[in-house]
Structure 1
Amino acid sequence: MKKYCPNCYYPLQGKSKFCAKCGQKTESGKVTMGDLLRRLWKSTFHLESKFFRTSWQLFVPGLVTSEFFRGKQARYPHPMRLFAVTMFFFLFVLNFLMKEKEEQRSGGAIRITTNDNGKIDTLAFNGDNFFNQLQHYNELDEFREDYDDLPEGWRTEEARLAFDSLLSAYAHRNIIGYENKAKADTVRRMLDTLDLNLITRQIRIASADAVRYSPEQIIQRYKISNWFDKIAVKQGIKSLKRPSELVHAYLGSLTWTLLALIAVMAGMLRLLYWKQQRFYVEHFLLVLHFHTGALLVLTASFIALRFKIINDNAVNLIALSSLIAMYFAMYHYYGQGWLMTFFKWLVYTIIYMVMFVLLFILGILLVFAIY
């Protein structure tokens, strides 16, 4: 009786233990828990061993791509899988550091700095709880405005002083740098209005409106007709209420932004090296491997920054130096002279900067549209 592979139904030859087409072992299909765990262990650590063997080679510009197209492909993880794993670790570290900063800022909603004359110089808002603080401010102001509507027997000077004392106590508890009632009154006046930077203009709205009304109601109330401005208002109010969610939403789309950038820049390399008659996939993998290595370096830099091994300036310098690494990747992979490579690298870098900004803005707009 002829036997067939249970996976792909390809005819099995004799007593062969593996399918000649798909490579699956010819077994009944019954799998024990031990078999399942062994497969998981093997597949996981097989990927990890390849990842660690490959990661250091990514720091040599153009090496992994050159080796890959020389036929040495089995020794490396799939390029897209390698990028995905690296991107996962990068976003994980970035999210962790951002949450840590948010927790550090959550101690006070408002920070005041004064100039030499003792006047308020800047007013900065910290933490996700700012909108809640703004609500409390407006509630207290509403109480003061409604004072005249209270029954005559309640409209006493003691009641007025109680409201003032409540606002002052609130300022003491939530404003870093608060010293006296005059400063609290100044802060309250500064919080009366909020400036929203729209796509085509800037508008000033009452903070009470931001608290009381939905974004759609604000759009109608302030007669905003431009489509882009409407999106900006909606996202501005949402980010005011939940600022960290907007940032995390964009970080979630960063992978697709980078992949779009890689695809575009691979097309740019194909134009620059069209005489070499290379396939598009070669240029794509060169740019993909470059970004994978750059993400590894940035991830390590952020970790070093977290433990104060390096400072912000060092991180910025490392990020800029990655552009120079691309020059060496182009020089080694395409094999042209130093001067010709420099000219093409310069064109590539200028286009890269422009496309990065454009795709970054497009990514933000897409997040704004769907967030």
Structure 2
Amino acid sequence: MRPVIKPALARLWREKQTLQFGTVRRHARVIEGVDRRLAGFLELVDGSRDGPAVVAAGQRLGLSAEYCRAVLDSLGSSELLDDAQALRDVLELYPPARRELLGPDLASLSLVHPAPGEAAAVLQGRARARVEVRGAGRIGAAVGAALAAGGIGEVAVLDRGRVTARDCAPGGLPPGDIGRLRATAARELVHRATGAPVGERYRRPPAAPPPPALVVLAPRDGSAAYTGAAVDAQELMRAGIPHLYTGVLEHLGVVGPLVVPGASACGSCATLARRDEDEAWPRLLAQLIDEGPGRARLPACDGAVAAAVAGLAALHVQLYLDGSPPPSVDGWCELSAADGMVRRLRLRSHPDCGCLWQSSAPGRTGTMA
């Protein structure tokens, strides 16, 4: 290990010999009694040396080996250290143009996953992951770009037809793509998000792709916000592939539920819960989805809401892949264009659904505390 004080943390002098690392209370740590020699020693913890070499360099400053080791132990127990070698190694998994772009993401991961080397291990997991986004409208295309920028190894955005003006939004497909094939335009958008040089052509992987680690359902008409009736969602349930619903429904952006087959409430649970409140809901839903006759003639989708929903959906995907269940598991999040508030609503597994009947999780009740 090559210890480095996390570069994401600000270094602030509270007074002459009191040094604070970080500004957010969750991560901030204070070191008192920082004289000139200790300040010099802290500058040595820059990732260029392994632990014994840092101690040896500290001794040349006039500090004892025991003191230097104690300082390193204190920095480690305070979650101020990372492993610079592990950080460099994980960035080597990516093309050169992508490494510098991922620097801020890796710095953020080092705060969320604080143990030395933990952030690198999380990013390595992202590098090996494949995610499908089904739908290249205002939400889906932007989700794909955000995931690619966040270090997901392969992002495939799938859709048919040609780009129209209503597909374009900040962070997603630009107006210059109007008239192009959606699949091609979305693929190039994702490719650009990885830092590929301008004009470099996308090269399709030679082998057949493996099953995705997760699928994002983001149809262009926002019908993913209704959940539960999509044929591909049922196929994903049978295949055991996690999937996330997202879309904008009238003025409301929706992220979730994120369905972990056999372990969390699913889209059909949401449909059945709505049926319990409104017995006509299945009939209404049939008229709304899959280009149904009751759908809006011009689906509403505020551009700012679309950008926020896409970012939130991408964050929930990353959290799940990183090993931290997002709030869209056993629930969903709503963002209103009317007030800008984000709300989380709880989703219980429905007794008539059966999605958890075969779950092997011990003690699972199908509800969320």
Fold conserved between structures, TM > 0.5: no
Select the structure that is richer in helix: 1
If asked which structure has higher relative contact order (CA below 8 Å, sep 6+), I would say 1
How does the TM-score come out when normalised to structure 2?
Answer: 0.23
